[in-house]
Amino acid sequence: MISTPADPLPSWNDRPTKQGILAFVARVTDETSPDFLPVAERIAVHDNDGTLWPENPMPFQAAFAIDELNRRILTEPELASDPMVQAALAGELAVLLEGEHFDGLMRVLALTHAGMTTDEFRDAVEEWLKSAKHPRFGRPYDALTYQPMQELLRHLRANGFKNFIVSGGGADFMRVWVERVYGIRPEQVVGSAARTEFELREEGPVLTKTLDHLFVNDKEGKPVAIHQSIGRRPIICCGNSDGDHAMLQYTTINNPRPSLGLIVHHTDSEREYAYDCETKSTGRLVQALREAPKRGWIVVDMKQDWNAMFRTE
Amino acid sequence: MISTPADPLPSWNDRPTKQGILAFVARVTDETSPDFLPVAERIAVHDNDGTLWPENPMPFQAAFAIDELNRRILTEPELASDPMVQAALAGELAVLLEGEHFDGLMRVLALTHAGMTTDEFRDAVEEWLKSAKHPRFGRPYDALTYQPMQELLRHLRANGFKNFIVSGGGADFMRVWVERVYGIRPEQVVGSAARTEFELREEGPVLTKTLDHLFVNDKEGKPVAIHQSIGRRPIICCGNSDGDHAMLQYTTINNPRPSLGLIVHHTDSEREYAYDCETKSTGRLVQALREAPKRGWIVVDMKQDWNAMFRTE
């Protein structure tokens, strides 16, 4: 009797999407395959907001920033004179998201993400995660990762892949919880960041967060950051928006190695959200979706492809 | 009969230096030790120039740059009008090393390290490594890594450590050969870098090297880059100069985990070079050496501690 290995992706329905993922992983990891790749070359990059966890009604890091402003304004009322703080506290997300790089959002992030040490920032994020709850699902934000993507991360890891998060989110924000939540080590997180400043204080060395040389890890910035941080082209890229378009191209177009592009398409307004060309948050998806058939990128239809939504274990 | 494990550091003489290294590794990896650390926390950072391979008579990357200038000036004579190019071609290293951040050297690196794609740059470095030879030792540059440090890297890896190179050298320069020479993956290389530009060309996606936002990974920049790229404090730091002083402090001062600082002191003018406060290249070592006893950093006396110099296998 031949024992059948357990299904590594039980939350994925048996459709071409799932078959395509499993076939690709088998193709590059089977030693008898002509497309076999050594472990060191099995690099997978994953967007975070909208790909591994939701980005509605706003990116979770923006929720953190607004909660922080609400907390701090009690003791620092002068913050209220900033029009972007006003917009944030009034929930006028559209104002914050104006401009090519969400300048208002960045301003608010700046106020809540700089001027403290990296340890102080980490403590603030940890404190927030303990109590904050998603407005629609009523659960802690870090309990809302997508179960099917968790299974994909695990399947890739079990097959010798190194998973990297390549997200517009702040590296310091993500590193607080990614290891616990995704099993991804801090050194495998590539995110937006500004330079810190090193100082040897009485109590020891500290790094203070500044806004200098802010790097926004989005769009064309993503392949740039992949090159800078990873130093080789990935062979798997998972994203969900036009912010991931450039890294999908970088991963798959004329890559001398076999490669896989995957787009999570939000089609399930009942269990999660449905959006692509129009969105009230980040995550606009038009160009990458249009290019997907030509490039052979797998498009995940959340409603059809996933039989579970959020992490269950 | 109890089998004795083979000596993991045969090129190190049996002195307190070697004993200190072995004792530290045992202390954090022995599950019965109160200082045991899980694998994920075993992060070791290593400077490259002067720590893993020589930096005399000049950093090897500078030799590459000068050889490149000599090659290119044949077809691009206009380069000769740049005073820093003239200094480089005349071997006036002191001129190139003037200024706090070796501005002249940086200018030459800029001319030879920008304006091409990352693939073109990689090819140039590979081509150079095939033919260039060290002026004193007459061997290819990448055959000159220190055998004792190779053994240390291997011993750490065998004990669950993740080795990172954290060097003032260019990340793109080092990544061409670090995997082959040290067994360190490109994503574990943290170096100086400027931003690249992403472009989707006819032949596929390319990244063009620029000089924008040049980050010099030296001195206080090293802990900054460690935080940005690794996202947690190392527990082992190996360096050889005041350029590594800040990352030695960051690794060892008030680190809640056990930690080890190690300084390679160049004391062997016969087999290699002898220098500390005075050097004709990079690698000045004064402040870190002075602070070593207070901090408990291990100082390697090359002449006394190493019974072999360059990689032999």
Contacts of A101 (CB under 8 A, 6+ apart): A216, A218
* Residue of B187, B188, B245 best to disrupt the A interface, most CBs of A under 10 A: B187
In the predicted model, is pLDDT for residue A227 greater than 80?
yes
Residues from chain B that touch A220, judged by Cβ atoms under 8 A, are 197-198
8 Å CB contact between B174 and B55: no
Average pLDDT over residues A142-167: 98
Q: Which of these, A230, A225, A91, lies nearest to A167 by C-alpha position?
A: A225
pLDDT for position B4: 60
The residues on A that touch B, with CB distances below 8 Å, are: 40, 43, 118, 162, 164, 171-172, 175, 179, 185-189, 193, 195-198, 200, 203-205, 207, 213, 215, 220, 223-224, 227-232, 246, 249-250, 253-255
Task: Tell me the nearest-neighbour CA distance from B4 into chain A, angstroms.
Answer: 32
pLDDT for position B3: 58
Q: Determine the Cα–Cα distance for residues B313 and B311; give it in Å rounded to an integer.
A: 6
Residue A230 and residue B186: Cβ atoms within 8 Å? yes
Which chain B residue is nearest to residue A208, measuring alpha carbons? B224
Residues from chain B that touch A215, judged by Cβ atoms under 8 A, are 195, 213
Average pLDDT over residues A11-28: 98
pLDDT for position A3: 58
A119 burial level (CB within 10 Å; 0-12, 13-18, 19+): exposed
Residue A203 and residue B228: Cβ atoms within 8 Å? no
B76 burial level (CB within 10 Å; 0-12, 13-18, 19+): exposed
When mean pLDDT is compared across A94-98, A191-195, B46-50, B238-242, the lowest value belongs to A94-98
Residues from chain A that touch B230, judged by Cβ atoms under 8 A, are 186-187
pLDDT for position B103: 79
Residues from chain A that touch B250, judged by Cβ atoms under 8 A, are 198, 205
Q: Determine the Cα–Cα distance for residues A221 and B79; give it in Å rounded to an integer.
A: 31
Reported confidence tier of residue A285, pLDDT bands at 50, 70, 90: very high
pLDDT for position A311: 95
Residues from chain A that touch B196, judged by Cβ atoms under 8 A, are 224, 227-228
pLDDT for position A221: 97
Residue B254 and residue A205: Cβ atoms within 8 Å? yes
Compute the residue count for chain A: 313
**φ/ψ of residue A150, rounded to 5:** -60, -40
Q: Which of these, A249, A241, A261, lies nearest to A17 by C-alpha position?
A: A261
pLDDT for position A313: 63
- The DSSP secondary structure of B290-310, one letter per residue, reads HHHHHHT-EEEEHHHHBS--B
In the predicted model, is pLDDT for residue A132 greater than 90?
yes
**Cα radius of gyration rounded to whole Å, chain B:** 20
8 Å CB contact between A166 and A215: no
Identity of the residue in B200, B230, B250 whose CB atom sits nearest the CB atom of A187: B230
Residues from chain A that touch B116, judged by Cβ atoms under 8 A, are none
Q: Determine the Cα–Cα distance for residues B66 and B88; give it in Å rounded to an integer.
A: 6
Helix (H, G, I), strand (E, B) or coil at B152: helix
pLDDT for position A4: 61
In the predicted model, is pLDDT for residue A46 greater than 90?
yes
Residue B224 and residue A207: Cβ atoms within 8 Å? yes
Compute the residue count for chain B: 313
Which chain B residue is nearest to residue A221, measuring alpha carbons? B198
User: B147-158 and B16-29 are packed helices; what angle lies between their axes, rounded to 10 degrees?
Assistant: 20
Helix (H, G, I), strand (E, B) or coil at B9: coil
Pick A101 or B167 by higher pLDDT: B167
Task: Tell me the nearest-neighbour CA distance from B23 into chain A, angstroms.
Answer: 25
**C-alpha pair distances (Å), A27 with each of A294, A297, B302:** 21, 16, 49
Q: Could you give the ipTM of this predicted complex?
A: 0.94
Residue A195 and residue B228: Cβ atoms within 8 Å? yes
Q: Which of these, A125, A182, A164, A134, lies nearest to A42 by C-alpha position?
A: A164
Q: Determine the Cα–Cα distance for residues B193 and B214; give it in Å rounded to an integer.
A: 6
- Which residues of chain B fall short of a pLDDT of 50? 1
